[in-house]
Every structure is written in C-alpha cells, then in structure tokens.
Chain A
Amino acid sequence: MDVNNPRAATVDLPTPSVGPPADTGHVGALSKLAPEPARYVLNWGRRYSLWVFNFGLACCAIEFIATSMARHDFIRLGVIPFAPGPRQADLMVVSGTVTDKMAPAVRRLYEQMPDPKYVISFGSCSNSGGPYWDSYCVTKGVDQIIPVDVYVPGCPPRPEALLQGILKVQDKIAAESLGDRYPGSPPEREPLRKRLSAKALLRPLIGPKDHDDVA
C-alpha cells in the first residue's frame, strides 16, 4: 500500500503476527477417533485429493503452471490446481520470491486455509531467498512465516521436481495421523469409557482378576 497516502490505509485488515502458527480450529471428530484401518482409508482420501492453492509469486509460478499442463499434468495424481480460493485448498504451493511486503499476505492466506493443510516451498527464493539472499526486502525463506512440509530446490525447479515434491507430500499424508499433526487441536476428548461400578473400584489391586468389574 502507499504509505505516503494517508487516505489509502483504511481498508486493510490487521497484519497477522509472524511466528509459528497457533493451533486453530479442529479437523473433525473422525480424524482423531478413527481406528487404524479407517485412518488408512481416510488418509487415502486426503492423499489423492490435494486441491492446490498456487501462491504464484514469481518465475516459479510459470513452472508451476507448466507442471499442470499437458506434458507433466499433475492432475493425474489427484492434484486439482487453481482451487477457487484458500478456503477450499489443501495444499499451498509457494512458488517464487516472498518479499517482506508480501509476507503478511502469505501468512494470512495460509491462515485462511482450513486444516489439515500442507505447504510446498517451490524454488530457491521461497526456500531461502535464493539469488536475492542479500536483498533488503526479500524474506529469506517462507519457512520463517509458515511451516513448510516439502522444499523443492531449483531456480526455478523443473516440473518433474514439483511432481516429486507432490509425491513426497502424498507419502507424508499416507503415513501420518491427524491427531499427531494437530496434537492440541480439538479439545482433548476423553476416550469413551464405560462407567465403573463401585465394586470395581473396591477391587484389590493384586489378586485374582474377576471379569465382572465392568457393569
């Protein structure tokens, strides 16, 4: 925004704070309580339906588009590009140089995405500042403002590199448990327990185990 124009600065949202993200929101009761086989199925669903929000900033955005085009076509993998907005996206690909002026917007859009969300940092600039490592206005790595799951190196990386990055994210999703990813997120629910009878409470700690302690 134009800081010199006092009239201009009225419609902006407050600047989000910079730091590791607070545990916001909840990811649905299913994910926390799901037993192992169900979790496998649910992870399968999440893994093959990654709607991408392309944070196209610079040169890498063109390679991102190239990846979605006919020759490389990551839509094969269930990655749907050009998700309408951050609210519908699962995966954010930060492709390009994040400047200090842009950083709050990156952060805000990340926060607008619903959990569980993943971030691929695509290209040297968003990994570490890249060729702008000594610039006065470039954020040296997007991981300073949002957590990054997969880094794809290159300047710009080839489309194949992005495909590999997406496969890495998919592997990561397949292996994870949402409860572990968001440890504090849903209010800790006590596992459902059957009510204990008074007799069970009075049962000696050591002794022959009786099976009717649960009423």
Chain B
Amino acid sequence: MAEERVVGVGAGAAGFGGYDRGGGEPGGLATQDMVLNIGPQHPATHGVLRLRITLDGERIVGCEPIVGYMHRGVEKLFEVRDYRQIIVLANRHDWLSAFSSELGVVMAVERMLGMEVPERAVWARTLLAEMNRALNHLMFLGSYPIELGAITPIFYAFRERETLQQVMEEISGGRMHYMFNRVGGLKEDLPAGWLDRASAAVAAVRRRVPQIEDLIFGNEIFLARTRGVGTISPELISAYGVSGPIARASGVDFDLRRDEPYLAYPELAEEGVLRVTTGEDGDCHSRFGMLLEQVSVSLDLADACIARLRSLPQGPINQRLPKILKAPEGATYCWTENPLGINGYYLVSRGEKTPWRLKLRSASFNNIAVLPEVLRGCVVADMIAILGSMFFVVGDIDK
C-alpha cells in the first residue's frame, strides 16, 4: 500500500517541483458546454458537497468536486483541546461512525502512553464499533435507494437503525455521538442486562435486514441503473488511496481489521467470524452489495463479542487516569478500519496535555477524490447513482 500512503497521509502538494498550483492547460471549458453546479445544497449530495459539472447535453465531460463547505477547522481545534475533549470533536467529523472515530484517538494516545487496556474494554469496544459499522451502513443502504428514486427502503433502514441506536443510547446516552471511549478503556461498565438487550437488538436487525435486500437489491430497474455503472478499477483505487467498502467492492482485498489487527479482531479472525468480503465488478451494484454483506458480518461479529463478554469475568473496564493526562513526547500514527474506510490519526506530542499536532486522515476525502475520474463520460442520471455509491460523509471530507 505504498502509493496509497503517498496520497493519503499527505506527501501533499509540496513534492511536485516545476508546477505551480492552479496550473494546467488554460481554457479547459468549451463555451458551448453547459456548466451545472450541483450543490453545495442539493438533494443528491446529502450534505454540502459541491460539484461543478461540465455537461455536453446530458453527458458529463468534466467534474470538479469543490470541497470545504463543511470545513470546521477540527485539526486546529484538536491542538487546544486536551485528550478527553478531543473525543468530542473526533466523533463529529464522520457523524455516521462516531464510535470508530473516537477509537482512533484513544488508541493513538494509549499507544503513546504505552497503556494496556482491560480485556473487557477491548471486547466491549469491538462490539460497539461493529454495531456502529452496522448503523453506518444501514444509513447508506437507505439513502442510496432514495437517490435512485426508491423512497421506501430508507424507512426500513431507519427502523433497524432505531433498534440499534436504542441499545447504543442506553449504554452511552447518545444517539449518534457516543462519547463512550476514554483513554484506557470505556467510560462506564456495561449496565446490568444490557448484553441481553443488545443481543436481542442484533437478532432483530439480522432478521429484518433481508427485507431491505428484497425491496431493492434484485429490482430490475435498480440493476439496470447500477450494474456496470461507475466501475472503478483496482489501479484507480490504489492511485487515489480509496479504501473501505468501495475498495473492497473493486476487489482490493484490504481490511485493517485483518491486515493490521487492533482491538479483539485478531482473535475474531482466528475464529473465522471476521470475514473480509470482496467484490469483483467495482460498480455501484457491487458497492451496494458490499454494504449488505458487511452489515451481516458486523452483526456476526457483534454476536461473537456479546458471547465473549458474557464469559469474561467481572473486572475493570477502564484504567485510572491521572487528573492531567499528558502524552509523552513523540509521534505515532494510528489507523483503524472505519465503516467508510481507513481512518488515521497522526499524533505528535511535545509532552503537553494537548497534542502539538493531530493530523486526521479521513476515508471520505480520498473516496471522493476519485470522483472526477469515475464521472467523466457518464450521463447526469448516472452521476447520482455513482455519487450515492461513493458512500461519503461530508464532514469526513472537509474535517
């Protein structure tokens, strides 16, 4: 994954000598073409992504994603927050995978501190991360059909989301932003009987998710609109550092949960519960199918974690922390497999209670960067199908 890191972590614009920013051939837009501004607020962008699209009839000849409408300066804010407060912002850049994002921060800090996390916390974190992954994918399973004009599946998806959110809320108090990770473990121990309710919720969702599949996945019109549309080749995936379900749908077999394991994933992989699914076609349809498969894998993982948590003896779920938490001087890079792809935190500390720099590598930014390549030559209607299947969160693009 060497090339990926060059793009993603940010060798940046400084490396290219001889070119100025804003260079390139002048006069790229022909006058008779129509320039269509999609967004920043457009129903299809579910968020505030703006695309400047050059059209020739209904065919797209050029596309330029204009990002930054959701830029909230979070990396700068990280530098004036201590390690507890950072979690607040960390789970808000990708609001659909809040738990997984806070996980990256606390794991980076724990690694700097050399802190061992209690086993119960490891398993509970894995459980919550997987439930969060299911939540995230359910959102896209609902929102993608709505972009293709099918309004009903999102209601089914949200019914499942509500079911899972209920147990997540019971444990953490938040429906979306859980704030349940702490450096050294979790905030509190699991409430009595919660595991039963969680397992019931997981079972209910597993029972009903096939309904979404039945509603839309085999539909003729859906197939016609997504099969062979927006195909991304594995080379393009590596060129742009695309990761997560999108990369796996193109056949790039890469999953940090298996390839650079963290939390309890090594054990789950050994047991065979953690299956890394890959697609072949790399089109919109296989990306959507990837989400469906990942949901069922996540639910399996959640069940395995619940079973394991039941068998673990009582014990602490977090470490006692000093009043003022200071990470030792140094730097670390911690990456996790977020629902949308690789999420990395590059933490540089100078031994103070706030990080000196906390660089965020977010999945959506790279996933959306490939868009111009995919969109060129498509029709406008395909643009919606492709854009929706890129599974991005605008806050994750703009940070």
A103 vs B21: C-alpha distance when bound (angstroms): 26
Report the minimum CB–CB distance from B281 to chain A (whole Å).
Answer: 29
Least Cβ–Cβ distance between B301 and chain A, in angstroms: 23
> Cβ of A65: which chain B residues have Cβ within 8 Å of it?
154, 158
Stretch at the interface among B35-43, B200-208, B226-234, B327-335: B35-43
Q: Which of A42-50, A128-136, A186-194 is near enough to bind chain B?
A: A128-136
Q: How far is the CA of A155 from the CA of B176 in the complex (A)?
A: 9
The answer to whether B176 touches A71 (Cβ under 8 A) is: no
Q: How large is the interface on B (under 10, 10 to 19, 20 to 34, 35 or more residues)?
A: 35 or more
What are the residues of chain A within 8 A of B96 when measuring CB–CB? Answer: 62
Q: Give Cα distance in the complex from A63 to B395, angstroms.
A: 15
CA distance A208 to B187 in the complex (A): 86
Q: Are B73 and A69 in contact (CB under 8 A)?
A: no
The answer to whether B70 and A58 touch across the interface, beta carbons within 8 angstroms, is yes
Contacts A102-B40, A135-B77, A137-B73 hold; do A69 and B155 have CB atoms under 8 A apart?
A: yes
How many Å from the CB of B150 to the closest CB on chain A? 14
Q: Does B28 contact A (CB under 8 A)?
A: yes
Q: Do residues B177 and A156 form an inter-chain contact, with CB atoms below 8 A?
A: yes
Give chain B nearest CB distance to A40 CB in angstroms.
35
Decide: A69 near B154, CB < 8 A? Known: A11-B35, A132-B72, A135-B76: yes
Contacts of A156 in B (CB 8 A): 175-177
Q: Give every chain B residue within 8 A of A63 (Cβ-Cβ).
A: 175-176
Name the distance in Å between A64's Cβ and chain B's nearest Cβ: 11
List of A residues within 8 angstroms of B209 by Cβ? none
Total number of A residues with any Cβ neighbor in B under 8 Å = 38
Secondary structure class of chain A's binding surface, majority of residues: loop
B69, CB-defined interface residue at 8 Å = yes
B159–A71 contact, CB under 8 A?
yes
Mark interface residues in A56-92 (1 if CB within 8 Å of B CB, else 0): 1111011101100111000000000010000000000
Question: Is B46 in the interface zone, CB < 8 Å from A?
Answer: yes
Tell which of A4, A59, A137 touches B176, judged by Cβ atoms closer than 8 Å: A59
Cα separation A94 to B35 with both chains bound (whole Å): 28
Q: Is A158 an interface residue (CB 8 A)?
A: yes
B215 within 8 A of A: no
**Chain B: which residue is nearest A59 at the CB level?**
B95
CB-CB nearest in chain A for B77 = A135
Among B8-65, those with CB < 8 Å from A are: 21-22, 26-29, 35, 37, 40-41, 43, 46-48, 50, 52, 64
Can you list, as one digit per residue, whether each of A130-162 has a CB less than 8 Å from chain B (1) or not (0)?
A: 011011111000000000000000011010000
Q: How far is the CA of A136 from the CA of B76 in the complex (A)?
A: 9
- Most chain B CB within 10 A, of A55, A69, A70, A134, is at A69
Cα A155 to Cα B98 in complex, Å, equals: 13
**Which residues, 99 to 128 on A, are CB-close (under 8 Å) to B?**
99, 101-102, 105, 109
Tell me whether B22 and A4 are in contact (CB under 8 A): yes
Set of chain A residues within 8 Å of B27, measured between Cβ atoms: 7
Specify which of A7, A66, A69 is in contact with B28 (CB 8 Å cutoff): A7
**For B77, what are the chain A residues with a Cβ–Cβ distance below 8 Å?**
132, 134-135
Q: Give CA–CA (A135, B37) in the complex, Å.
A: 28
The 4 closest A-B pairs by CB, nearest first: A59-B95, A69-B158, A135-B73, A4-B22
Inter-chain pairs besides A57-B47, A61-B46, 8 sampled, C-beta below 8 Å: A1-B66, A58-B47, A58-B394, A65-B154, A69-B158, A99-B71, A134-B77, A156-B176
